[in-house]
Chain A
């Protein structure tokens, strides 16, 4: 068990810098999710912590020790890969015992630890099978088993659930979380799936184009996104953005209506409103020409355009709504649920 520090971490391939001055303090036992669109550098960052990619500059420390120059095997980490990376010519038991044998543990000790891990992951009956005789979910468990038998200081997960079907993914997500809480091992988990990120992580590191956009708890990211990117990435359906002109606590929408906001800024800005925070209100300032309805059962998504403009806007209302296509519906929003961003930099404007 250990904490992890990322200090001013930079990764370049030749002249191209792909990760820019990453900072991060990860507490002992924390579950950190690195999330971002594909190509944002999240896997590269994880592989740098694992020691599979070199560090161009900056420092990675695990448990207070600088590990930049250490081989992956010396960092006391375990990693679960997207394609599981099981050794195809070994049985499940041999797969799990491989790392322990290399560490020259006594045979009885190895057997006991493999049995224990297999018990936890409910793969005891498959111990003598080869990976190709297992289903995707079972292989996933073996890959996790191989990680936990080693009893490492840090778990690293590289999109471990993306090869599973939707139902299994939800189930394994819960199991990974339970397992991590039970073992209390510091974990870093990479994914592009924001639901996975929100549900798993104690804290989320949102990466975009090699920059850390925000590093905080899921609720912080949801309530106070630091940038338009985070605001749009976290939450589903995505946040609505409208260009507005600010003046003394009110924002003028492109449709000419006024929305009160909790901000003293003035000038142009981008107003962000989550679909679920728009409440139906016959006198509300936000008028939507309804184009389409999506019935989700518990709630209904109303897709349309801001009245008199081409700005797409989505609202989520509880319950069922059957009619209204072509009509104009009006909504309002509480000032403290609005978000304001600098239109040029995309950064949050704080009140």
Chain B
């Protein structure tokens, strides 16, 4: 039986959660409702005239080819970021698991990128890939590839994907390492005695057993790629060249604060909000249920 705890006054519990509620109200509920309200308005660039238009902003969005392109781009971007960072983290975790000497040293190094602010991470990659000064374009030139992400949309996309994935590797690595360490050693040994080599053990035993973690990380990485990569994109390409790296979250910023289409921008952010809510629901539904076994 659960014991119910009674406080002498009913005020204390509310006081205790008040800071969290205040923060949620001020930094989430209020701006979110503002965005929702604003998405029903059309304003001129100087804020002089405002018109309530119901769903016109959304209708415009759904027929705007730029917006639909951005949607597609975001899908490609987020899938590649998630796949790349998770794949790489999985490999690293697999190796880190086998390291005996200096394990703490390697693990600490691998976790570092997570502590770097997105904009700084972006700045690092900008330096490394600067077409005139960067080290990587220099090497690429040697093997006959001309690198200029200021001109090539695909190269720009590749760069922001690499930067965004690199930053998320640390997080994924931590979760994968923890998941692998929770697999009993004797199960792996049993597979070894059964005749499975390292690769086979990984794919038929380890990988299925960490599938709940993979699913959890997939959702987290998608959310990350959708929203938290703003800083990286702003620092590296600012959505360019053209609109080739303008993913949804960047377009919200660009249309609202650069293009000053506040209503349209608000409508986009409402769509994004709906997306993240769906993803969160999916995650809670499935992760709670322990996927696969």
- A residues in contact (CB < 8 Å) with B: 50-52, 71-73, 77-79, 81-83, 85-89, 98-99, 102-103, 130, 146, 150
Contact = CB atoms under 8 A, between A and B. Distances in A.
Contacts of A78: 193
Contacts of B195: 73, 99, 102-103
A52 B189 CA distance: 7
Given A72-B193, A73-B195, A85 B208 contact: no
Contact of B293 (A72, A81, A98, A130): A130
A79 B186 CA distance: 10
B194 A98 contact: yes
Interface string B174-217: 00000000001011011111111100100011001100000000
A89 B193 contact: no
Contact of B192 (A52, A87, A130): A52
Contacts of A87: 187, 190-191, 205
Complex A-B, nearest 9 residue pairs according to Cβ-Cβ distance, in ascending order: A99-B194, A89-B293, A85-B186, A73-B195, A85-B190, A102-B195, A81-B186, A89-B208, A72-B193
Nearest to B205: A87
What's the dominant secondary structure at chain A's contact region?
A: loop
Given A72-B193, A150-B194, A85 B184 contact: yes
Contact of B193 (A50, A83, A86): A50
B290 to A, nearest CB: 11
19 contacts: A50-B189, A52-B189, A72-B193, A73-B194, A73-B197, A77-B193, A81-B186, A82-B186, A83-B186, A85-B184, A86-B187, A86-B190, A87-B191, A88-B293, A89-B292, A98-B194, A99-B194, A102-B194, A150-B194
A22 B197 CA distance: 30
A85 B187 contact: yes
Nearest to B211: A89
Contacts of A89: 208-209, 292-293
Contacts of B194: 73, 98-99, 102, 146, 150
A103 B119 CA distance: 52
What's the dominant secondary structure at chain B's contact region?
A: helix
Contacts of A102: 194-196, 200
Given A72-B189, A98-B196, 12 more contacts: A71-B192, A73-B192, A73-B196, A73-B197, A83-B184, A85-B186, A85-B190, A86-B187, A87-B205, A89-B208, A89-B293, A102-B195
Contacts of A85: 184, 186-187, 189-190
A83 B191 CA distance: 14
Contact of A79 (B193, B209, B293): B193
Interface string B3-22: 00000000000000000000
Most buried by A among B200, B204, B209: B204
Contacts of A130: 293
Nearest to B188: A85
A318 B271 CA distance: 87
A323 B274 CA distance: 84
A155 to B, nearest CB: 11
B200 A79 contact: no
A79 B192 CA distance: 10
B182 to A, nearest CB: 11
